[in-house]
Amino acid sequence: MSKQELYTSAAAKYWRDTLSDRLPSEWRKNVDEFEADITLKKMGKVDHKLFAETRLRMGAYGQRYDNGHRYDGKTVRDIPFPEEFKGPETYWDAPGMQRIKLPWGGLTPDQMDLFADLAEEYSDGICHITTRQAIQLHYIHIENCPSMYRRLGALGITTREACGNAVRNVSADPMTGVSPTEAFDVTPYAQAIFEFLLGHPDAQDFGRKFKIALSGDKEGSSGLVNIHDLGLIARIKDGKRGFEFYVGGGLGAVPYAAKLFSDFVSEEEILPLSQAVCRIYARHGEKKKRHRARIKFLIADLGFEKFRDMVIEERAKLPHDPRWTAYLKDLNKLDEKPSRPAGSGLKCTGDAAFDFWVKTNVKPQKQKGYVAVLVTLPLGDITSNQMRNLADICRKYINDTVRTVAEQNLLLRWVSENDVAALYAELKAVGLHLPGAESILDVTACPGTDTCKLGVSSSRGLAGEMRSRLYAKGAAIDPAIRDLRIKISGCFNSCSHHHIADIGFYGISRNVGGYVVPHFQMVLGGQFQNNGGAYGIGVGGIASKAVPAVVERLTGLYLESRNKDENFRTWVERTGKATIMQSLQDLLEVPAYEKDKSFYVDWGDVREYSVKDKGIGECAGEIVTLTDFGLKAADRELFDAQLRFEGGDATSAGSRAYRAMVLAAQGLLKGKDPDVPENADVVMERFTKEFHDTGVFNDPYAGPKFAQYYFQAHGHRGQGLDKDKTSLLLHEAQLFVEACHSCYARMSLTETKEAVA
Ligand code: HEM
Ligand code: SF4
């Protein structure tokens, strides 16, 4: 045993001996079993796939580390690890990410101290707040996980089902309980759903993850019910508490808005009805094709009415469970109390920085004399030292009333108005006084290429750049654009919630003159408010390095040409994508490699975007292939389809979206055979044979998912679809065309490599 191994096992024994008794028995059993699995895995006695699912269900993810090798700017170096893999091409015991779920985002100062310790001892000293109110630690070693789980469990936190095909963190509007506009506090209901469904036998056999959110009110809430598999919005009817009950929302590559299942489900009924939904999803949901496995697809396939009937029938058959209503007797258990007397109004200090911070980071509570204060965390990160300091600040001013926020910040509730200035001073002393929460300054980003294996472009790099440019303007930013949201995902999976941003981006790559260049697809006009009330629509790909200039131009245009009080979404709709893209035209051109190499390096990286590009000769910039032309034609056709949809002509939008897919497939085929015929059936047949069946088209992570969109569209050819279905087809066509671009980029790299070899 090495010194490190000896230390790890001695520490594990210490935590096991000291803490096991303080964990609920079920949680203890889970951790013990996981620890045993690790031992068996080391002995080679557990199948790789089985171990991976066990690990994921405990919230331990694989993490990107350049798949076992890293390009250091000059050469590719291997990172030495044993032979077995963790996920696609990652070693099973390589450093990973631990997701720790926090139901309804609740956090106490003692837990904050613990997070600080865990991040310092096992991670890189940084706690990362996620867009679903969880906390993530990166670079975790699998052998430290059981100790971590015991330490968390002793303070009431479980990581069970934080990942995997299970009920994920049950999130809630962080303002619930103090929001002036809500019907009532949803915290105890969120806690009840979490406790009831955690490890519930009816929620163990899903084809995919299942996300639940609760919100106290319909408007102005960041409960984000609309983007969840199951969502509840508080309502009082005839003096009785209940919920509007929604199902089938979800982001991911193609976003679906949740559908209203019932406009009033009484508080006694929410657990049995949720259970019935889980049973129907587990029994009838797709299990084999991952890309069709979320409940949104089951509802689309069955039809909403049929799905609802099945759930209602299932509910009627459920044997009574006393837990359905037991929690209602103790509904006030989680009620919060202030630790300081109510204040008497916010005092103005005349300090411009403080006043700006108050404007963006201090929110009124319904309880007179108290406010809720947002602590802005750049990119969702807080260091261990800051976390410890913040825990002490909380003990002094508020105590156990902290919540994580979907926009990757922390919310301190129940701050007395009299304490706001003193609190600001203490936050400032530890670097946590940044203004701009819930504004354009506070750009949200997923982990992207930093640590996520699926990342295509550097979302955090771009977000960091955007933040520093926007913060440089700070309070000088016009109030009309200050309230806009920017959200950046490293790929189409939308972990940053780019679909509901005013200005959203997701990472894509494009081939420019034989080089692969990091790009972002821009998505405009989504709505974060109203529970994620509307999804934006893709307008076009932009080189990563051009994005800051594009945002500057775009917001300038909005300011110049908006009608009085016109919001961004309405402005986008009125102006139209064609005009918007036209006005950005000069920023969309990617300079040749020889002219400006900076476009070929992503934000926050010193390396060229693709190491394999390095072998390309100088003539590469001149090559324009038939595939380039074909893909360009597909982009144009798709853009036209989107314009027609925008103009209210869903019928021709549908057939054009399908046509864009055919053109893209044909473009790829032209790389092999310039004489590929126009006939759509022949294109489909040859694409299937030459790109799908051979696996050439498969995305390294999403597999053949995007080809399936094309196959489905070939069935109906974009005809006879209603508005909702056409909107989905537009998203799917966009993803398929992007996948053709990526496939072409991968093929060019292989060819280049072969030519150079
Ligand atoms: C190891 C890194 C990660 C991987 C491999 C990953 C994978 C994915 C995938 C595949 C989806 C699409 C889901 C679907 O279509 O079914 C997704 C969605 C999502 N992920 Fe992640 N993710 C990662 C990290 C994160 C992080 C750090 C966050 C929070 C900051 C996050 C939050 C979300 C959210 C909010 C969605 C979209 C909402 C929805 O599913 O409806 N993910 N993720
Ligand atoms: S959006 Fe893509 S890159 Fe970002 S965290 Fe999600 S899966 Fe990873």
- pLDDT surpassing 50 at residue 616: no
Is 654 a member of any domain?
yes
Is 117 a member of any domain?
yes
Pocket test for ligand 2, best of 452, 500, 742 (most atoms within 8 A of CB): 452
Is 733 a member of any domain?
yes
> Do residues 361 and 405 both lie within one domain?
yes
9 φ, ψ (degrees, to nearest 5): -75, -30
Sequence letter at residue 144: N
Confidence of residue 558 (pLDDT cuts 50, 70, 90): very high
Residue 136's nearest CA partner among 109, 115, 158, 153 is 115
Cα–ligand 2 centroid distance for 204 (angstroms)? 25
Mean pLDDT of 302-312: 97
Is the Cβ atom of 270 under 6 angstroms away from ligand 1? no
The ipTM assigned to this model is 0.87
What does the DSSP 8-state code read for residue 691? I
Q: How far, rounded to the nearest angstrom, does the alpha carbon of residue 651 sit from its chain's CA centroid?
A: 32
Residue with the nearest Cα to atom 39 of ligand 1?
A: 251
The pLDDT of residue 376 is 98
Sequence letter at residue 299: I
Pairing of strands 240-247, 230-237: antiparallel
Provide the residue count of the chain: 757
Cα–ligand 2 centroid distance for 453 (angstroms)? 8
> Do residues 240 and 289 both lie within one domain?
yes
3-state DSSP: the chain helix, strand, coil percent, rounded to 5?
A: 50, 15, 35
Mutual angle of helices 680-687 and 650-670, in 10-degree steps? 50
Mean pLDDT of 422-450: 96
Pocket test for ligand 2, best of 168, 454, 735 (most atoms within 8 A of CB): 454
> Do residues 119 and 10 both lie within one domain?
yes
Burial of 252 (0-12, 13-18, 19+ CB in 10 A): middle
Cα–ligand 2 centroid distance for 447 (angstroms)? 6
- pLDDT surpassing 70 at residue 87: no
Confidence of residue 750 (pLDDT cuts 50, 70, 90): low
> Do residues 248 and 382 both lie within one domain?
no
DSSP state string for 250-284: B-SSS-B--EEEEEEEETTTHHHHHHHHHHHHHHH
How crowded is residue 236: how many other Cβ atoms within 10 Å of its Cβ? Answer: 11
Is 588 a member of any domain?
no
Q: How far is CA 492 from CA 17, 528, 714, in A?
A: 45, 18, 23
Domain CATH number, residue 646: 1.20.120.330
- Sorted by sequence, the CB contacts under 8 Å of residue 336 that are 6+ apart come out as 177, 400, 401, 413, 414
Over residues 154-174, the pLDDT tens digits come to 999 999 988 888 899 999 999
CA separation for the pair 95, 494 (Å, rounded) = 24
> Which atom of ligand 1 is the closest one to the Cα of 227?
41
Residue with the nearest Cα to atom 19 of ligand 1?
A: 495
CA dihedral 168, 172, 174, 176 (to 10 degrees): -160
> Which atom of ligand 1 is the closest one to the Cα of 61?
1
Q: Are 209 and 164 in contact (CB under 8 A)?
A: yes
Is 124 a member of any domain?
yes
The pLDDT of residue 95 is 73
Mean pLDDT of 465-471: 96
* Mean pLDDT, all residues of the chain: 89
Cα–ligand 1 centroid distance for 234 (angstroms)? 26
Cα–ligand 2 centroid distance for 622 (angstroms)? 33
The pLDDT of residue 566 is 95
> Do residues 216 and 297 both lie within one domain?
yes
Name residue, tokens 């590009």.
Answer: 613
The pLDDT of residue 69 is 59
What does the DSSP 8-state code read for residue 207? S
Over residues 265-284, the pLDDT tens digits come to 999 999 999 999 999 999 99
Is 31 a member of any domain?
yes
Q: Are 209 and 170 in contact (CB under 8 A)?
A: no
> Do residues 101 and 190 both lie within one domain?
no
Q: Which ligand is nearest to the CA of 505?
A: 2
Confidence of residue 73 (pLDDT cuts 50, 70, 90): low
The pLDDT of residue 252 is 87
- pLDDT surpassing 70 at residue 529: yes
Cα–ligand 2 centroid distance for 496 (angstroms)? 8
Q: Tell me the CA end-to-end span of the chain in Å, nearest whole number.
A: 42
Final residue belonging to a domain, choices 376, 403, 429? 429
Share of the chain above pLDDT 70, in %: 93
The pLDDT of residue 67 is 54
Confidence of residue 46 (pLDDT cuts 50, 70, 90): confident
Mean pLDDT of 606-616: 48
- pLDDT surpassing 70 at residue 401: yes
DSSP state string for 546-557: GHHHHHHHHHHH
Final residue belonging to a domain, choices 402, 429, 456? 429
Pocket test for ligand 1, best of 128, 446, 523, 728 (most atoms within 8 A of CB): 446
> Which atom of ligand 2 is the closest one to the Cα of 448?
3
Is 169 a member of any domain?
no
Over residues 622-646, the pLDDT tens digits come to 345 778 878 888 888 898 898 889 8
> Do residues 188 and 291 both lie within one domain?
yes
Range of the domain at 38: 3-153
Is 469 a member of any domain?
no
- Sorted by sequence, the CB contacts under 8 Å of residue 463 that are 6+ apart come out as 379, 443, 444, 445, 486, 488
Is the Cβ atom of 601 under 6 angstroms away from ligand 1? no
Pocket test for ligand 1, best of 405, 495, 498 (most atoms within 8 A of CB): 495
Confidence of residue 84 (pLDDT cuts 50, 70, 90): low
Residue with the nearest Cα to atom 6 of ligand 2?
A: 495
Q: How far is CA 169 from CA 48, 59, 743, in A?
A: 26, 11, 35
Cα–ligand 2 centroid distance for 382 (angstroms)? 20
Cα–ligand 2 centroid distance for 71 (angstroms)? 21
Domain CATH number, residue 250: 3.30.413.10
- pLDDT surpassing 50 at residue 459: yes
Cα–ligand 1 centroid distance for 523 (angstroms)? 18
**DSSP 3-state of 11:** helix
Q: Looking at 74-229, which runs of residues are DSSP E strands? A: 76-78, 85-87, 90-91, 96-100, 106-107, 126-129, 135-140, 167-172, 210-215
> Do residues 630 and 750 both lie within one domain?
yes
Name every protein residue with a CB atom under 6 angstroms from any ligand 2 atom. 446-448, 452, 454-455, 459, 489-491, 493-495
Mean pLDDT of 564-590: 93
Name residue, tokens 């390096």.
Answer: 601
Cα–ligand 2 centroid distance for 61 (angstroms)? 13
> Do residues 206 and 141 both lie within one domain?
no
> Do residues 146 and 199 both lie within one domain?
no
> Which atom of ligand 1 is the closest one to the Cα of 497?
35
The pLDDT of residue 167 is 94
Tokens matching residue 677: 């015929």
Cα–ligand 2 centroid distance for 557 (angstroms)? 30
Q: Which ligand is nearest to the CA of 457?
A: 2
Domain CATH number, residue 392: 3.30.70.3340
> Do residues 283 and 382 both lie within one domain?
no
From 37-41, 133-137, 272-276, 388-392, the region with the lowest mean pLDDT: 37-41
Mean pLDDT of 728-748: 90
- pLDDT surpassing 70 at residue 725: yes
Structural domains of the chain, count: 4
Task: Provide the β-strand partners of residue 508.
Answer: 519
Confidence of residue 490 (pLDDT cuts 50, 70, 90): very high
DSSP state string for 564-593: TT--HHHHHHHH-HHHHHHHHHHHHPPPPT
The pLDDT of residue 83 is 53
Final residue belonging to a domain, choices 429, 445, 463? 429
Q: Which ligand is nearest to the CA of 140?
A: 1
Rounded to 5°, the CA angle 183-186-191 comes to 170
- pLDDT surpassing 90 at residue 357: yes
> Do residues 39 and 105 both lie within one domain?
yes
Residue 225's nearest CA partner among 537, 439, 530, 525 is 530
